[in-house]
Amino acid sequence: MAKNTLFYAENIKFEREENEILKGVSLEIKKSEIFCIVGPNGSGKSTLASILMGIKRQDSGKIIFCRKDISKKGITERARMGISLAWQEPARFEGLTVRDYLSINAKIPPEKALSLVMLPPDKYLDREINSTLSGGERKRVELASMLTLKPKLAILDEPDSGIDFVSLEDLIKVMKMMKKAGTSVILITHREEVARHADRTMLMCGGCVARVGKSIEISNYFKRKCAPCSIGDITKKLNPDFGGGSIGLPE
């Protein structure tokens, strides 16, 4: 591992009902880096996020964080160490006010966090987290929660789904603020306009790592080679057997 490596996962495998979901995935995250994971639906991105956070346990493979082996640690222990996850569909915490939710283990005031995600504190602090909040509002509250925690590593699982262009701009600002504050970010997204702001991007397909590189290069490659194909078509082009977690794609 390099000196500036914060997080390292090696040969992660995960199978359910004889279905290989992850086939030996490896990745390395640097300190204060925005690392993006892209790929077709069903490529294993969200499963990988759940394993990295400790929600699911890999069948085999090793996970290192801050040079400590956390392979067998669960979500609570990893959260205490400084790893946080924002969900595709943010948790609602029915009955709690936004103020109460953002005060849990907060390292910065809830008012400041709301302002950073462009939600007026005077209008949102005393609102309950329930169905009256729109999807975009819930996602902003979830991002505000990440800011209050000031984690060493933030895993954002499609935080941009279902939000408009203006909200995307705000999301990008928040990610850059987190990076500036020293937080590394793993971003899972389908949106090119968000992915291009990452430092590096990893392309997944069929449970494998297909390619890692500069975000613009991976984005262009995905549009040119992968977007028109189904997962089955891609896997056949990559490798007839499609085994192993790090493989080269055809030029």
Give the CATH H-level superfamily of domain 5-238: P-loop containing nucleotide triphosphate hydrolases (3.40.50.300)
| Rounded distance between C-alpha atoms, residue 210 and residue 204, angstroms | 5
Q: Is 108 helix (H, G, I), strand (E, B) or coil?
A: coil
How confident is the model at residue 90, as a pLDDT? 55
* CA 73/CA 67 separation, integer angstroms: 14
The neighbour count for residue 125, using CB atoms within 10 Å, is 17
Q: Return the HEC string of 120-178.
A: CHHHHCCCECCCCCCHHHHHHHHHHHHHHHCCCEEEEECCCCCCCHHHHHHHHHHHHHH
Q: What is the pLDDT along the chain (251 residues), one digit of tens a residue?
A: 788 999 999 999 999 988 999 999 999 999 999 999 998 888 999 899 999 999 999 999 999 999 999 999 999 999 999 999 876 555 556 779 999 999 988 999 999 999 998 899 999 999 998 888 887 888 888 889 989 999 999 999 887 766 654 577 888 888 999 999 999 999 998 888 888 899 999 999 999 999 999 988 988 887 777 766 655 444 444 433 333 344 333 33
**194-227 in b/e burial notation, b at 16+ Cβ within 10 A?**
bbbbbbbbbbbbbbbbbbbeebeebbebbeebbe
Q: Which helix (H) or strand (E) holds 213?
A: strand 208-213
Res 66: pLDDT: 96
Alpha helices by DSSP H, listed for 32-81, are 45-53, 75-81
Residue 244 pLDDT: 38
For the beta carbon of residue 80, count every other beta carbon within 10 angstroms. Answer: 10
User: What was the pLDDT predicted at 233?
Assistant: 47
CB 145 within 8 A of CB 79: no
Q: How far is CA 94 from CA 90, 132, 133, 136, in A?
A: 12, 11, 11, 17
* Domain ranges (residues) in the chain: 5-238
Under a CB-based contact definition with an 8 Å cutoff, are residues 68 and 20 in contact?
A: no
Q: Which pLDDT score is estimated for 230?
A: 55
Cβ–Cβ under 8 Å, residues 201 and 36? yes
Task: Report the candidate in 146, 149, 1 with the shortest Cα–Cα distance to residue 65.
Answer: 1
